[in-house]
């Protein structure tokens, strides 16, 4: 279980069995359900934009059709708070801005899941999708908030 802790502007909190990730006043997420629409259909090499609490990566680990997971996270503080407490042998963590990563990677992915905004977003989903489609087949980029 991810321990309650703080690092930089980030905090992991727990209330009534649920774990939350905050950045200052921003509620990034909790570990409730909502990712199965992606994690159950993905297969092969899968990219994930945003570590958060690692919920997507954990679910992908349990999917036998997924062979490899690459998680891209912009914040070293989030990585330090969360990554050491996950048991996801198929996954690699990359500390990078997803925008920079997608523009520069030579990896080819079978699926990619993008979830790097909390409420307001400075890029539209279609921009993220266009960027990801350089490394992923077009119908295999899924984004939080679009379904």
Check residue 74 for interaction with ligand SAM (CB under 6 A): yes
Check residue 46 for interaction with ligand SAM (CB under 6 A): no
* Residue 124: C-alpha distances to residues 47, 48, 66, 135, 145 (Å): 19, 17, 28, 18, 11
DSSP tag of 91: E
Residue 135: CB minimum distance to ligand SAM, A: 15
Check residue 115 for interaction with ligand SAM (CB under 6 A): yes
Q: Which is nearer to ligand SAM, 99 or 133 (CB)?
A: 99
Q: Which of 22, 43, 88, 99 binds ligand SAM (CB under 6 A)?
A: 99
Residue appearing with tokens 């350089």 = 134
Find out whether 142 and 111 touch, Cβ atoms under 8 Å: yes
Q: Which of 46, 69, 78, 141 binds ligand SAM (CB under 6 A)?
A: 78
Looking only at the bridges linking them, the beta strands covering 141-143 and 66-73 are unpaired
Q: How far apart are CA 134 and CA 111, in angstroms?
A: 12
Longest Cα–Cα distance of the chain, Å, equals 43
Q: How far apart are CA 60 and CA 91, in angstroms?
A: 9
Check residue 50 for interaction with ligand SAM (CB under 6 A): yes
Check residue 49 for interaction with ligand SAM (CB under 6 A): yes
Q: Which of 70, 86, 91, 98 binds ligand SAM (CB under 6 A)?
A: 98
Using CB under 6 A, list all residues that contact ligand SAM.
28-29, 49-56, 72-75, 78, 97-99, 115-116, 118
């Amino acid at each position: 279980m991810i321990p309650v802790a703080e690092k930089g502007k980030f905090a992991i909190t727990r209330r009534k069995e649920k774990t939350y990730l905050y950045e200052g006043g921003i509620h990034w997420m909790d570990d409730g359900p909502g990712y199965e629409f992606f994690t159950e259909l993905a297969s092969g090499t899968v990219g994930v934009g945003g570590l958060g609490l690692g919920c997507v990566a954990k679910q992908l680990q349990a999917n036998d059709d997924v062979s490899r997971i690459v998680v891209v996270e912009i914040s070293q503080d989030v990585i330090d708070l969360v990554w050491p407490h996950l048991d996801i042998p198929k996954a690699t963590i990359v500390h990078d801005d997803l925008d920079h990563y997608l523009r520069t990677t030579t990896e080819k992915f079978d699926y990619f899941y993008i979830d790097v905004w909390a409420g307001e977003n400075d890029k539209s989903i279609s921009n993220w999708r266009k960027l990801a489609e350089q490394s992923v087949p077009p119908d295999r980029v899924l984004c939080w908030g679009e379904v």
